[in-house]
């Protein structure tokens, strides 16, 4: 297979430091100021290593340096260089690289990034060339991403065998609104992906008013009543977790991570470092998260502030997953993708999910 490979080196940097994305020059500067770590190169490397293990026959085309060449070179994979970007990369580099991929007749484009990168890639190829995203961004609402980086290899394998494809949605949110706690997601394009629903995530579903609101209120009431004094409760993003703070008379950062102690929010819109600053003092903590729409992710999508480092301090035994029955009906399987394989294994299996007042359901976690 002739594959175009590209890495957006700044994708996902804003997640752990609480920036909810890295779109725009100013936000990228702020991410660097907060000592944000680059995550997409490592995740791209995981996908490439899985491709090597499967011994797939692939001819790679790529950019030099941190836009893909570094990861290929590190693994000893030969490739044709189509673009040599400057020291500061941008979406214009991605777009130009994809144009060159197309001109050289690639059969598929494999990229590491988030929804913004997906938009850049598909803006060039439309549905003319299939794409696979290696999940490396913060939000990742689109349905072009592998469930986990290594599953990109499974998608390539199935594509090589059948060449079967299907069309999916490319979604994105307005990051400025997202930082203000307003989720404005919309459809930007239609992309073509390998026809393999097992290894591709779905697009994010949004749950609106109706009986779900009543369920969330009941669930929030029960969780708030179950909180113990002296324990820090780290609340992930979402309207379901916001129902907890509503019962407490506090206003949650809807799309951020907040910390509650003794019924009050003591830290709003926390970053990974601010969470670690609390945990390293030895206080007991509990993480409370809810699945992301119909994708089912409880870690690794939209809540990267609750990182593997944070989770190791908290302990996987101190995780509460909450979901209304309405939401859980569309999310039969939960998923984890923290970037730490050992931690992910401790979370997989079957997990009790709080669904209402003194109600729980056992749900598989992959």
pLDDT tens for residues 240-256?
999 999 999 999 988 89
- Domain residue extents for the chain: 2-194, 211-365
Would you state the pLDDT for residue 201? 85
List of the chain residues with pLDDT < 70:
12, 14-36, 139, 173-186, 203-212, 293-294
The mean pLDDT value of the chain amounts to 88
* Residue 362, C-beta contacts closer than 8 angstroms, at least 6 positions apart: 350, 351, 352, 353
What is the DSSP-derived secondary structure letter of residue 293?
G
What angle do the packed helices 239-248 and 211-226 form, to 10 degrees? 60
Closest CA to 14 of 176, 171, 123, 145: 176
Would you state the pLDDT for residue 340? 93
Would you state the pLDDT for residue 58? 96
In this structure, how many other beta carbons lie within 10 angstroms of the beta carbon of residue 342? 9
Q: Given phi > 0 = left and psi -120 to 50 = alpha, else beta, which region is 244?
A: alpha
Would you state the pLDDT for residue 21? 53
Would you state the pLDDT for residue 210? 42
**pLDDT tens-digit map of 33-68:** 666 577 899 999 999 999 999 999 999 999 999 999
Would you state the pLDDT for residue 163? 94
Q: Is the dihedral of CA 7, 175, 26, 310 positive or negative?
A: negative
* Residue 210, C-beta contacts closer than 8 angstroms, at least 6 positions apart: 326
Q: Are 292 and 302 in contact (CB under 8 A)?
A: yes
State both tokens at 180.
């203000």
Would you state the pLDDT for residue 331? 83
What residue has token string 């779905």? 202
What is the DSSP-derived secondary structure letter of residue 44?
H
Would you state the pLDDT for residue 87? 86
Ranges of beta strands (E only) in the chain are 2-7, 59-63, 79-83, 108-113, 131-135, 165-173, 185-194, 232-235, 258-261, 264-267, 285-289, 297-299, 319-322, 335-336, 349-356, 359-365
Number of helical (H) and strand (E) elements in the chain, helices listed first: 14, 16
Would you state the pLDDT for residue 209? 38
Q: Are 127 and 10 in contact (CB under 8 A)?
A: no
pTM for the complete prediction?
0.68
Q: CATH: 3.60.20.10, 2.40.50.140, 3.40.50.10330, 3.30.43.10. Which one for 2-194?
A: 3.40.50.10330
Determine the Cα–Cα distance for residues 254 and 182; give it in Å rounded to an integer: 8
Q: Are 352 and 360 in contact (CB under 8 A)?
A: yes
Would you state the pLDDT for residue 214? 79
């Amino acid at each position: 297979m002739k594959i175009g490979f590209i890495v957006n080196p700044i994708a996902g940097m804003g997640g752990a430091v609480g920036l909810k994305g890295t779109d725009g020059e100013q936000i990228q500067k702020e991410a660097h100021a907060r000592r944000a770590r680059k995550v997409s190169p490592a995740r791209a490397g995981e996908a490439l290593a899985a491709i090597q293990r499967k011994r797939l026959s692939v001819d790679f085309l790529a950019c030099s340096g941190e836009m893909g060449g570094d990861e290929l070179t590190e693994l000893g994979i030969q490739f044709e260089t189509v673009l040599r970007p400057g020291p500061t990369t941008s979406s214009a580099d991605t777009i130009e690289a994809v144009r060159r991929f197309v001109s050289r007749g690639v059969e598929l484009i494999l990229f590491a990034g988030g929804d913004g990168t997906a938009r850049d890639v598909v803006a060039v190829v439309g549905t003319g060339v299939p794409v696979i995203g290696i999940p490396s961004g913060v939000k990742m609402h689109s349905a072009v991403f592998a469930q986990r980086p290594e599953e990109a290899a499974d998608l390539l394998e199935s594509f090589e065998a059948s060449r079967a494809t299907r069309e999916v949605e490319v979604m994105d949110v307005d990051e400025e609104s997202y930082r203000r706690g307003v989720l404005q997601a919309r459809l930007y394009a239609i992309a073509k992906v390998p026809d393999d629903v097992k290894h591709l995530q779905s697009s994010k579903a949004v749950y609106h008013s109706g009986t779900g609101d009543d369920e969330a209120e009941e669930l929030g009431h029960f969780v708030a009543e179950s909180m113990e004094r002296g324990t820090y409760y780290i609340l992930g993003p979402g309207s379901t977790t916001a129902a907890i703070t509503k019962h407490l008379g506090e206003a949650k950062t809807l799309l951020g991570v907040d910390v509650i102690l003794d019924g009050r929010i003591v830290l709003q819109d926390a970053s990974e470092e601010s969470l670690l600053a609390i945990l390293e003092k030895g206080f007991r903590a509990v993480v409370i998260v809810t699945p992301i729409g119909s994708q089912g992710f409880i870690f690794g999508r939209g809540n990267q502030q609750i990182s593997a480092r944070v989770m190791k301090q908290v302990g996987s035994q101190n995780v509460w997953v909450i979901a209304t029955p309405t939401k859980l009906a569309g999310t039969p399987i939960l998923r984890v993708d923290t970037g730490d394989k050992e931690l992910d294994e401790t979370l997989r299996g079957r997990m009790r999910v709080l669904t209402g007042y003194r109600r729980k359901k056992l749900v598989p976690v992959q």
